[in-house]
Amino acid sequence: MSTRSEKRPTTIIVMAKECVPGRVKTRLHPPFSLTDAARIAAASLADTFDAVAATGLPVLVCAQGEVPVRPGFRSIPQVPGELDERIAAVVDEWTGRVLLIGMDTPQVDPRMLRGIADDWPYDVDAWFGPAADGGFWLLGLDEIAPRRLGGRRRGDLVRGVPMSAPDTGRRQRGRLVDAGLRVADAPQLTDIDDLASLREVAAVLPAGGHLARLLRTLTAGSVGSVSSAGSVREAS
């Protein structure tokens, strides 16, 4: 596929949430304490910030609650409402091309994100990154004229899609296709939801990252500890 001769700036949007015990990663409890589950969420967010910073692209943090923002990042608060409404609001507000990700895929490769931004094909309107649990980890949207969307805004491509459901990804990708957009797929990633997905992500984390270092210090009760190399050592 041919690429655009004139590249427009791409902004990475990170949907981030304050890492308060009892409000984040609660499916990791048990075996982890709520406090340690929140530490895992915070480390995942820190690794995500490292990855997006390494792309060299502009970064916008769309924050729910108090989220520490890195120097050079911009930040805006999430609007009230369900996740689809919050995503819709930020892609409506922000102009230009966007790559929107969450904070649950700390293994994301900054080279892949930069590659999508730099080599965005001329005949692609949207990028979709499926998640292993049936959701999605990446949503990329080009500037799309409202007339192409029947007078609607970009946010309407997300608004109303049920989130955190087994078929969220299928529905979201279908919404893009039904709107007449030309969609390209990014590689599937696993996002951290529970102990099984944490183990899977741990297996591919860089050893020096925030989450890898944290996991080496945590013991998941009777089910064992999760190492940065992905091995699980049974507790005695």
Q: Which amino acid is at 214?
A: L
pLDDT at 146: 87
Please report the pLDDT score of residue 155 as a whole number: 97
* pLDDT > 50? residue 233: no
Q: Is 26 part of any domain?
A: yes
- 86 and 94 Cβ atoms separated by less than 8 Å: no
* The pLDDT of residue 27 is above 70: yes
pLDDT of residue 202 exceeding 60: yes
Single out the residue of 110, 99, 93 nearest to residue 136, CA to CA: 99
The verdict on residue 70 lying in a domain is: yes
What pLDDT is recorded for position 2? 41
Domain that holds residue 171: 10-191
- For the chain, what is the domain count? 1
pLDDT band with cut points at 50, 70 and 90 for residue 9: confident
Q: Above pLDDT 90, what percent of the chain?
A: 86
Segment 34-56, tens digit of pLDDT: 999 999 999 999 999 999 999 99
| Two tokens, residue 37 | 């589950």
Examine residue 108 and state whether it is found in any structural domain, yes or no: yes
Radius of gyration for the chain, computed over Cα atoms and rounded to the nearest angstrom: 18
What secondary structure letter does DSSP report for 179? T
Angle between helices 34-54 and 110-118 (to 10 degrees): 40
Residue 144 lies in a domain: yes
pLDDT at position 176 is 98
Does residue 225 register a pLDDT over 70? no
pLDDT the model gives residue 235: 34
Determine the Cα–Cα distance for residues 17 and 62; give it in Å rounded to an integer.
8
* Of residues 234 and 125, more confidently modeled: 125
Has residue 236 been placed in a domain? no
CA separation for the pair 192, 204 (Å, rounded): 12
Residue 89, domain CATH? 3.90.550.10
Q: What is the pLDDT of residue 5?
A: 39
User: Which residue type occupies 49?
Assistant: F
- Report if residue 220 sits inside a domain: no
Residue 111: what residue type?
R
> 67 vs 234, which has greater pLDDT?
67
In a domain, residue 48? The reply is yes
Classify residue 203: in a domain, yes or no: no
What's the pTM value of the predicted model, to 2 decimals?
A: 0.91
Provide the pairing of β-strand 183-185 with 126-130.
Answer: parallel
DSSP classification of residue 172: H
d(CA 71, CA 61): 12
Asked if the model's pLDDT at residue 228 lies above 80, the reply is: no
Q: Which residues contact 5 (CB under 8 A, 6 or more apart)?
A: none
pLDDT tens-digit profile of 49-107? 999 999 999 999 999 999 999 999 999 999 999 999 999 999 999 999 999 999 999 99
